Amino acid sequence: MVRRLRHKAAAVFLVGLQAVAGCGQAAAQNKPVPSVQAMPSPVVAVIDFQHVVKESAAGKSVRSQVDVRQTAFQAEIKPLQQELESIRAELGNRVPGIGEAEYTAKRKAISERVNELQRIIQERKRELDDMFNNGMRQVDLALVEVLKELAEERGINLILNAGRGRGLVLFAENQIVITDEALKRLDARLPKVELTKPNGGK
């Protein structure tokens, strides 16, 4: 029974499509056909965008500065993490003879300190991530400007990203690969990125 209803529904749907098509054909006979604008012939170039960003002088400068910052952050965070572990151990050991009110107050103070230390550690990690992302964003934007420049010079109207894992390009002639040229121009345009903290400080 269900199959018959589905067949009937499909038949009604097809009839409806035919009716709409018929109306469309009738309307098309009464209206002038608009002119179709010709599409330009594709002029294609291929680039490994991620490779250029990674191997560029600016990209390397970002990673180098982040590594230095990370070392400093780890040195700052290490004693905080040690303090955090010590406080947690203290929180789990109740001293015999201590009153309930005093114990409750001590637990509250310890919990507040734990929350503060966790906040500081998370804040430092977030600062590091933001600095890296902001730095690499500058490299990305500079590379986009380089690609616009190359496209205008060579009449390119389509650039494909051949980065690893993208799956967009399986093969390309060397003549249309602009990775090396883009890397060269990016280094000239943006040799280094000066990283700053997210709040604008150095």
At 66-120, the pLDDT tens digits run: 999 999 988 988 888 888 788 777 766 666 666 778 778 877 887 888 888 889 8
Mark 30-63 as b/e (b = at least 16 C-beta within 10 Å): eeeeeeeeeeeeeeebbbbbebbbeebbbbebbe
Q: pLDDT band for position 29 (50/70/90)?
A: low
What is the reported pLDDT for 167? 60
Q: Higher model confidence: residue 72 or residue 5? A: 72
Q: How far apart are CA 97 and CA 196, in angstroms?
A: 52
Q: What angle do CA 23, 24, 26 make, to 5 degrees?
A: 65
Q: pLDDT band for position 133 (50/70/90)?
A: very high
Mark 75-102 as b/e (b = at least 16 C-beta within 10 Å): eebeeeeeebeebeeeeeeeeeeeeeee
Q: How far apart are CA 25 and CA 162, in angstroms?
A: 44
Amino acid letter at 81?
A: Q
Q: Higher model confidence: residue 32 or residue 84? A: 84
User: Over pLDDT 90: what percentage of the chain?
Assistant: 42
Token reading at 159 = 């650039």
SS3 166: coil
Q: pLDDT band for position 165 (50/70/90)?
A: low
Q: Higher model confidence: residue 110 or residue 193? A: 193
Contact at 8 Å (CB) between 68 and 131?
no
Winning range, highest mean pLDDT, from 19-28, 42-51, 78-87 = 42-51
What is the reported pLDDT for 32? 64
Contact at 8 Å (CB) between 45 and 159?
yes
What is the reported pLDDT for 5? 36
Q: What angle do CA 165, 166, 171 make, to 5 degrees?
A: 100
Contact at 8 Å (CB) between 193 and 53?
no
